[in-house]
Amino acid sequence: VQNLSIIGLQWGDEGKGKIVDYFADEFDGVSRYNGGSNAGHTIVIGNRTYVFHLLPSGLLKGKRLFIGPGVVLDPIILKEELELAKKEGIKFDLLVDGRCTLVTPLEREMDAILETLRGDKALGTTKRGIGPAYAMRALRVIPRVMDLISGNYNLTFAKKFYSLFKKDLPDLGDWITESEEVLHDRVGDVSKSILEMNESQKWVIFEGAQGVLLDLIYGTYPYVTGAHTLANYIPASLGLPAKSVGIVMGVVKAYTTRVGNGPFPTELHGGLAEAIRTSGKEYGATTRRPRRIGWLDLVALKYSIKINGVEEIALTKLDILTKIKEMKVCTSYLLNGEEMTDFSTALPKIGEASPVYSEFPSFWGVELTSSKLPRVVDSFLEYLENELKVTIKLVSIGEDREETVERT
């Protein structure tokens, strides 16, 4: 056994939360390592739906939970989630790394101001202060969690800095008190804890947020998030040796969605998009925005798979394809009259790429059960495995935890 890294290979919302929850039984802990409360990870058990933004998805399996140093942490959102979990009677043990970057109301304000300044070029961020928090980390403006707890910080510089953007700054007094309260008993050294666990043969799931195409450097810049989403970033952002990344499992939705702005070659409009959106409940778990919908894009996926060295995939939301009458997959792009299969070559002009599709027998009305997948589905999965050169380990055929098929 070893650690398991679970990352999204598209533009987020691939179903990472469900997959983490599914595998959590076999592990001793689950750790977040990137992003912040921009993530929205959903787990469905029976008639209950749980959405978490900061708490790792191992909490419903009673695993040790970690928020690693690379996360930008909004203590007020964490407080809300802790209260919700308490109300639900969910018990867990959470350790927050002292090196986490804090997200204060100032970064949230700044996120909104920057979006307004961008006008019709707005990124469509979640307005959770993620980009500004990472920027403030790089500029060394904001104290970290450990500085807040030790009382060894001064906000004078931060306030001067923010006054460049905004004249009437909110008073942070209450925020500081509240944040200290939430974090006080939960702060420690996540890197050290995970290293110690690994040394005694205890293994951890690293729960990715966002997706590869939203990576700050390797995604569809500038329409990306403020952090890194590649598997390589996991050990770096957790302070672990590179080999700790363990198995890298990519999560892929059987079609594509995107929230916020930016290029999306296989995007659909009209009735079909609406039908998928409705069946797939494709509304943002963090912002409630309707997600943009499109067919599966193999050009983009091959890129995500290649740059992450992904060998295993969990394919989610296959059941949604049984509710539509068409079935298409994008196999190349047309760009300036030229056919292209290489995403990184197309990337500088990706906004102008038009998709070339292969059609497949539709899954319309096909019944999916956990015991055996129908032939039409199996041959599609085999096609994907051949094209993408991966193993599809797991298939999700419904939103419930139980509706998951392991392929052998």
Closest to 34 measured CA to CA, from 7, 60, 63: 7
Report the site for ligand IMO in 310-329 (rule: CB under 6 A): none
Please name the residues in contact with 31: beta carbons below 8 A apart, sequence gap of 6 or more: 56, 65, 66, 67, 68, 190, 194, 204, 205, 206, 207, 238
Q: Which of 67, 78, 61, 77 is nearest to 27 (CA)?
A: 61
Report in angstroms how near the CB of residue 152 gets to Mg ion at its nearest: 35
- Return the residue of 260, 265, 280, 355 that touches ligand IMO, per CB under 6 A: 260
Least spacing, CB of residue 307 vs ligand IMO, in Å: 18
- Burial bucket for residue 135 (CB in 10 Å: 0-12, 13-18, 19+): middle
CA–CA gap between residue 92 and residue 390 (Å, rounded): 35
13 is catalytic: yes
Using CB distances below 5 to 8 A depending on partner kind, what does residue 124 bind out of ligand IMO, Mg ion, none?
ligand IMO
- CA gap 186, 163 in Å, rounded: 32
Q: Is 131 in the site for ligand IMO (CB under 6 A)?
A: yes
We find the least distance from the C-beta atom of residue 132 to ligand IMO, in angstroms, to be: 9
3-state secondary structure of 352: helix
Residue 71 site contact among Mg ion, ligand IMO, none (CB < 5 to 8 Å, cut-off depends on kind): none
User: Phi/psi at 93 (nearest 5 deg)?
Assistant: -125, 115
- The nearest distance, CB 225 to ligand IMO, in angstroms, is 3
Nearest CB to Mg ion, comparing residues 144 and 277: 277
> Measured at CB, which residue is nearest to Mg ion?
40
Those residues with Cβ within 8 angstroms of residue 213's Cβ, 6 or more apart along the chain or in another chain: 9, 10, 11, 219, 220, 224, 300, 304
The distance of closest approach from Cβ of residue 125 to ligand IMO in the complex, given in angstroms and rounded to an integer, is 4
Instruction: Choose, from 21, 41, 53, 319, the residue flagged as catalytic.
Output: 41
Nearer to ligand IMO, 3 or 57 (CB): 57
41 tagged catalytic: yes
* 266 near ligand IMO (CB under 6 A): no
Query: C-alpha angle with apex 212: 68 to 238, nearest 5 degrees?
Result: 15
Catalytic residues, by residue number, are 13, 41
Q: Which residues bind ligand IMO (CB under 6 A)?
A: 8, 11-13, 38-41, 123-126, 128, 130-131, 209-211, 214, 225-226, 259-260
